[in-house]
Amino acid sequence: MTTDTSQYLGRQGADWWRGAVIYQIYPRSFLDANGDGIGDLQGVIDKLDYIASLNVDAIWLSPFFTSPMKDFGYDVSDYRGVDPMFGTLADFDRLVEAAHARGLKVTIDQVLSHTSDQHPWFQESRASRDNPKADWYVWADPKPDGAPPTNWQAIFGGSAWQWDTRRCQYYLHNFLVEQPDLNFRHPAVVQAILGEVRFWLERGVDGFRLDAVNFCTHGELKDNPPREEIAEGFIGVRPDNPYGYQHHIHDKTQPENLVFLERLRALLDEYPGTTSVGEVGDDDSLGVMAEYTRGGERLHMAYSFDLLGERHDPEYLRGILTEMESRIEDGWPCWALGNHDVTRLASRWQAEDNAAALRLYMAFLLTQRGSICLYQGEELGQTEATLAFEQLVDPAGITFWPAYQGRDGCRTPMPWKADALHGGFSRATPWLPVPDDHLGLAVDQQDRDPDSLLNAYRAFLAFRRTQPALVKGEIRYHPVRDGVLCLERRHPSSDPGQRLLVALNFADAPRELPAPGAARALDDAPALVNGHWRDGTLTLPAYGIAIARCPTDSEEASWDV
């Protein structure tokens, strides 16, 4: 099936992705339409009107490809197939058509750095050392004593090398043993992977979220040096994981990866209006984000785990954002506060019973320069689910229990109806339970409450769409004062030119600050914007949000608070 994507470029043209809000769907947990306890593509189709009501621009579908599901779809055994638990290719085609009819772009996960060990490519590669695909994966001889070739660690624990008795060699796996790494130094591998990407472009997708995109190439087979201090935070690595004990110099983020990204970008450029966002996990993730998006020849945008950890004081957040701005030049960032790999935002940032704080975090995310990824359930304020060990299915949680309970707690099903069986997610027993305390957050409850977090998201996203400065404008940060993060967004080429002042109070007490006398509150701002600008003074309630407009030619450009 070939789709003419030109008709779907939308109101912002081919660069619709620049400043777009992308709603991440974890299909297993979104809606089960066929009653087997697992969400599916038809369930996504059934809820497209809900997604459109959020005023987002696109959806991102986490993996739905054919897979043994050792890592729940991130171990692909057929890049061109839909796993039967999710539906069929015909279901996917109907989803794309239905989404486009509602003005929603469709982006999908692509897991390029590794496959499942059940993929036919690997089955052939491991059969011998001299078959046509023998070098399609990263194979290496043992050290003289039989030990692995290097000290590289896998993110899910243990050595990144697995012995294979068929070839009497080790193969590289940066993640699970069942996820062997492809050899991107082999031209045929690159050509084959680009062919898999083209398959989905021909089916009409608008873009790709590229999983672990800096893992596609490895360096020399040398030991990584130890770190002076254990690092945590990138790719969800915790201090109890030995992966954080090393400087990852040789096992990922190699210069050769840039060549592949340029090949990938050239392919995407053949399909106007398509885009790419890369997931970056690295010791210097901000630097890699900048390098991977500068110049318009590699990725369109990239995101890291820097805002996905526990720390969220305004000084830290400002530091991350200003460093990114200083390094990215003409590149474009993408930001997220939650996804399927990290503890739910409401729990991670200690706002489980703090509706005002959740609104503040929403406003913080949606006023940054860059594109936005919004994980399903964040608009409901879903908290991290607490599961018993016997309920866990995530291999990371099972391996690192009890210090780390894995990613199942952020992947529990969406609650649609408070009074329905399993929250309306499924009529069968779900693959993960729906926590009782999530039922009060259900969509049907929040839908009818004008003051709910869900409706706050809808209102702010609708407002954001009308503000060119927030979507594509420049940004400038001011010093944090008494827990208040202050920034400016400018879009001088809009008609009329826009200059917006934003103040976000991360403190649990009111704040009063000096502000430019020319600042004027926005008449069209949603009700959650509750700060007051009056006579050169800004007054903010606890966790308050303020947005004002200033003339672009105002002499008070510094907003020296």
What are the tokens at 336? Answer: 């997220």
Write phi, then psi, for 246 (nearest 5 degrees).
-120, 155
Q: In degrees, to the nearest 5, what angle opens at C-alpha 423 toward C-alphas 96 and 358?
A: 80
Count of other CB atoms within 10 angstroms of residue 191: 10
| Under 8 Å between Cβ of 55 and 23 | no
Report, in this order, helix, strand and coil percent for the chain, each rounded to 5.
Answer: 30, 20, 50
CA distance 138 to 161: 10
**Per-residue DSSP letters for 157-215?**
SSBSEEEETTTTEEEE-SS-TT-PBB-TTSHHHHHHHHHHHHHHHHTT--EEEETTGGG
| Under 8 Å between Cβ of 363 and 467 | no
Half-sphere exposure of 57 toward its Cβ, with a 13 Å CA cutoff? Answer: 24
**Per-residue DSSP letters for 75-126?**
S-SEEEEE-TTT--HHHHHHHHHHHHHTT-EEEEEE--SB--TTSHHHHHHT
Q: Of 214, 134, 206, 124, nearest to 169 (Cα)? A: 134
CA distance 519 to 516: 6
Q: Is 404 helix (H, G, I), strand (E, B) or coil?
A: coil
Among the options 130, 228, 270, 330, which is catalytic?
270
Element (H, E) at 448: none
What are the tokens at 20? Answer: 């777009």
Q: Is 481 helix (H, G, I), strand (E, B) or coil?
A: strand
What are the tokens at 396? Answer: 């990371």
- Identity of the amino acid at 288: V
Nearest-Å Rg of the Cα atoms of the chain is 24
Strand partners, 172: 161
Among the options 211, 291, 325, 378, which is catalytic?
211
CA distance 453 to 143: 57
Write phi, then psi, for 181 (nearest 5 degrees).
-85, 135
CA distance 65 to 71: 12
Count of other CB atoms within 10 angstroms of residue 56: 24
Residue 270 is a catalytic residue: yes
Element (H, E) at 484: strand 484-491
| Under 8 Å between Cβ of 211 and 74 | yes
Q: Active-site residue numbers?
A: 211, 270
